[in-house]
Chains A and B, each alone.
Chain A
Amino acid sequence: MITFKGVHKWFKSLHVLNDINLHVSPGEVLVVCGPSGSGKSTLIRTINQLEPINQGTLIVDGMDLSDKKTDINKLRAEVGFVFQQFNLYPHLSVIGNITLAPIKIRNIPKKEAEEQAMELLTRVGLAEKRDAYPLQLSGGQQQRVAIARGLAMKPRIMLFDEPTSALDPEMIGEVLEVMKDLARSGMTMVVVTHEMGFAREVAHRVVFMDYGVILEEAPPEDFFLRPQHERAQQFLRQLLTPMQAG
C-alpha cells in the first residue's frame, strides 16, 4: 500500500529523512514515534506529498510519487490526512466541512453527500453538531469532525499527524476511541503519536525514529517490552516517567 525505498529528504542542509525503507500493507496500522525533531512528521507528510521527497522511491496506493506525471490531487483524494491542529475550515459549518470535498471533487450530489456526512458524524458521535461552526466546538470535537472530513472521501489510507497532541487530556480519549474503531474496521493507517496505549491496543507495528533515521521497527509488544536501540529505551523511559525525565 505504501512503500518507501531509500527515501531521503533535506531541509537546506538538514538531513530530515535519511535512507527510509518502509512498507505498509493494506489494512495495517502503523504507529510512528520518536522525539521531536526526529523526522516523524516529515515522514508522514511525504506520503501525501505535503512534503516532496528529494531522493529515493515512494509508492502510495500504486502511484509513484517520485514520478512527475503522477496526478498528486488524485492521490491526495485517496489519502485522508488528520492534522495536529485539526485545520477545519472556520467559515464552513461542520456539515459543510465534511461535504465540501465530496461535492466539489467527487461530484457527489449535495443531498447524498450530506446523508453520508451524517452517517460519519453519527459514527464519531457528533450528529447533533451538524450545523455548528468549528470554533464553537471543543478541541476533541473538532478533531473528530476532522476525522469524519477525511473519511468522507472514502480514502484507502488515513494518515494522522499527532492527532491528540493539541488536546486537553480529558479529550484525548474520545478521539482515540474513534481512531481505534477505525483501525478495527480494517483501514490502512499511519499514525504519528505518543499515545502508547493506542499503539499497544491496535497497532500492528511500531516504528521508532530519531535524527531522520528509522532506528527500530517491531510489533508493539516487542517494542514496548524489549526495545533494542538505546535511544528507543531512553525515549520510552522518558515517556513513561515524564517527571524524572527533566
Chain B
Amino acid sequence: MLNYTFDWSIITSGQYFDWLVSGLITTLKLSAISIVMAFILGLVIAVMRMSHNKPVRWFAHIYLEFFRNTPLLVQIFFWYFGSYKILPTVINDWLNKTGFEFAAAAIALTIYTSAFIAEDIRSGVLSIPKEQMEAARSAGFSYLRSMQYIILPQAVRITIPPLVNQFLNLAKNSSLAMTIGVMEMTYQARQVESYTFKGFEAFTAATVVYLVLSIVITAMVNLYNEKVLNIHKAA
C-alpha cells in the first residue's frame, strides 16, 4: 500500500499555484532573454573566431575554450558571488535594485551558451562554399558586410538543428539559477514542496513545464526551419 495521498489540487489552484505560475514566468523571461542574447553574442564570437586579425581570433578562441570547459554552476556562482567584489559600487547598487540574482543568472547562461552557439555557427559558416565570400567581396562588400548579408544568413539556416539543441539546453539549464536565489520554476517547485511536503506533485508540475517549454521551442524553430526548408526544397 502506498503511504502517500496525492493532492493535485495544491498545484492547480490557490497560493501554491500562484507561486508556480510566477516561477514559470521567471523561467520564461530568463530563458527568452538569455536565448536572444546568447544567439547575438554567439554570432559575434563566431565572426571574431574567424577574423583575419590574430589578437581578435585568439581572444575568441580563449573565450570559447574557457566558457565551454568550465561548469555552468561555477560560472553562475562566479558572476553572482565573484563579480560582486570587483564591480564598482554604483553598478552594484543598481543591480541590487533591479535584481542581481536574475542579472547574474542571465549573464552566466548567455555567456556559457554563446560559446556553444559560436562553435555551431562557425561550422555552419565553414560549410558555405568559399565562392560565396568571393562573390560578395567582388561586389564591393567588406569582409564583415559579406558575413552579415551573405555568409551568416546562409550559415544560420543550416545551423538551425544544433541551435535548437543549444536553446533547449539553455532553457533547461536555467533551473540552475535557483542556486543563487532566482525564483524561477524549480525554485518555486522546491518552495511548494517545503511548505506542503507534496514533492511529487510539485516536481511533476516543474517537469511538465520544462517538457512543454522544450516542445514549444522546438516547434517554433521548426516552423521557421520549414519556411526556410521550403525555399531550399523549391531551390
Contact = CB atoms under 8 A, between A and B. Distances in A.
A85 B157 CA distance: 22
Contact of B231 (A76, A88, A91): A91
Contacts of A79: 138
A136 B137 contact: no
A125 interface: no
B138 to A, nearest CB: 4
Contacts of A83: 131, 134-135
A129 to B, nearest CB: 13
Interface in B90-148: 131-132, 134-142, 145
Interface in A97-126: 100-101, 104-105
Contacts of A100: 139, 149-150
A101 B140 CA distance: 8
A105 B139 contact: yes
B150 to A, nearest CB: 6
Contacts of A149: 139
B154 interface: yes
A173 to B, nearest CB: 24
B140 A50 contact: no
Given A85-B131, A101-B140, A136 B234 contact: yes
B1 interface: no
Given A87-B131, A104-B149, A136-B235, A76 B138 contact: yes
A104 B235 contact: no
Given A91-B231, A133-B231, A104 B141 contact: yes
Interface of B: 131-132, 134-142, 145, 149-150, 153-154, 157, 231-232, 234-235
Interface of A: 48, 50, 73-74, 76-79, 81, 83, 85, 87-91, 100-101, 104-105, 133-136, 149, 153
